[in-house]
Amino acid sequence: MNKYLSILLLVASAQVSTAQSAPPAPASLARLPLEQNGGTWPTSHVQGIAVDVAGGYIYYSFTTLLAKYDFSGKLIGTLVGWAGHLGDLDFNPRDDRVYGSLEYKKDKAFYIAVIDVSRIDQVGLDATKSGIFRTVYLPEVVNDYTADMNGDGVFDGDTAKSLDHRYGCSGIDGVSFGPAFGRTDGPHLLTVAYGIYAHLARTDNDHQVLLQYDTADWGRYERPLTEAAPHHSGPAAVHGKYFVRTGNTTYGVQNLAYDEAQQRWFLGVYKGTKPAFPNYLMFAVDARTAPTLGDLVGVPGPGGKGSERGLLLALAADGLADAATGIRGWNQKADVGIQPVGHGLFYLAVGSGPKGQQNGKITLHRWTGTPTASFVPATPADLNRR
């Protein structure tokens, strides 16, 4: 037999053997719906999603309503009863609770909502009466949001026109659990992303700001939600504070997600408007990227001299590249819901409908990593064997 033909036959045989021995997808993964409709609600738009892969549930934040569905598309229940803005969500398998960003800008109060979603079993549960909705105050965010940056002695409030708000902080949005930056192992920390005002004349709002918290002892801070008298129970210090220079965006990182499979953080944003930047819709940071102490370009240092210093995280070295700034990213919509579920699969959310009739829909996608088509719709084959 021709030696080259023998080699080809051996390779083909090895490929067949590998395919036959490849493990099937986990049962929980095989049950994932390729798409799901999160319902139509008299609220604001869908703002975040969370997926309990092992338990078989999907959670949708509609800012003033949380909806719980099973993988078959059955509505299990909803949670209502707050006036604040519930944003991005993440499910923490270590305590089987959903964590979400919660804003009360008029009260200068920013919280992480900690929700015992196992008790959501009917439509219309009241968050303030059921005891399953607890909150943790974030003083670090409040300090930056209320900072009097123009030195006039007046806090200008919730407005993008002001020069107040350190780093352009407008509050918080994206949340996700993952390892400490620079690592792929160790305990998972809660990472919280700032909202950032889109003020075109500022230069100090061109970084995304990410806080990391160790939530292992957060039980001592958790309090029921009381809107009439917002509490201030929360950690005085953060585990770490980091900066990612992406160029200014419109309200910062709307959705944040850590993908265990790729060991990578994804940042979904509303498109920025500063013409000097590429204004991508999604950015990424590799988990192994070690934070480095450096200048925060555009952020004045003490006394207005030089630049403030901070822990910088470099953007992942793939995707589209902007030659003028060196910024990399993708023109991929990921601003109202992005959730990795393993094996290179992600749910991406889109919203639709008029005010008061907001609909949210998710579709399962497969990561390709290409600059112009980073995600493609998943197929049944993607679920059956990975």
Does residue 130 or residue 125 have the better pLDDT? 125
Q: What is the pLDDT of residues 293-338, one digit of tens each?
A: 999 999 999 888 889 999 999 999 999 999 999 999 999 999 999 9
pLDDT of residue 10: 35
- The answer to whether residue 256 scores a pLDDT higher than 90 is yes
Q: What is the pLDDT of residues 34-54, one digit of tens each?
A: 999 999 999 999 999 999 999
**CA-CA-CA-CA torsion sign (37, 39, 44, 50):** negative
Q: What is the pLDDT of residues 202-222, one digit of tens each?
A: 999 999 999 999 999 999 999
- The answer to whether residue 271 scores a pLDDT higher than 50 is yes
**CA-CA-CA-CA torsion sign (9, 12, 17, 18):** positive
pLDDT of residue 385: 62
Secondary structure (DSSP) of 66-97: EEEEETTS-EEEEEE---SEEEEEEEETTTTE
Q: What percent of the chain has pLDDT over 70?
A: 92
Average pLDDT, whole number, for the chain?
92
Q: What is the pLDDT of residues 108-124, one digit of tens each?
A: 999 999 999 999 999 99
Mean pLDDT of 151-157: 93
Enter the tokens of residue 244.
């990612």
Enter the tokens of residue 138.
């974030």
Tell me the β-bridge partners of 382.
none
pLDDT of residue 13: 36
Residue 199 neighbours by CB under 8 Å, 6+ apart? 160, 161, 162, 163, 168, 205, 248
- Residue 200's CB is within 10 A of a number of other CB atoms, namely 12
pLDDT of residue 20: 33
Domain boundaries, the chain: 66-334
Report the Cα 27 to chain-centroid distance in Å. 26
Banded model confidence at residue 355, pLDDT cuts 50, 70, 90: confident
The pair phi, psi for residue 309, each rounded to 5°, is -105, 145
Mean pLDDT of 374-380: 96
Banded model confidence at residue 26, pLDDT cuts 50, 70, 90: low
- Residue 185's CB is within 10 A of a number of other CB atoms, namely 8
- Residue 345 and residue 31 in contact, taking contact as beta carbons nearer than 8 Å: no
Residue 36 neighbours by CB under 8 Å, 6+ apart? 58, 69, 71, 73, 361, 362
Q: What is the pLDDT of residues 49-103, one digit of tens each?
A: 999 999 999 999 999 999 999 999 999 999 999 999 999 999 999 999 999 999 9
The pair phi, psi for residue 63, each rounded to 5°, is 65, -45
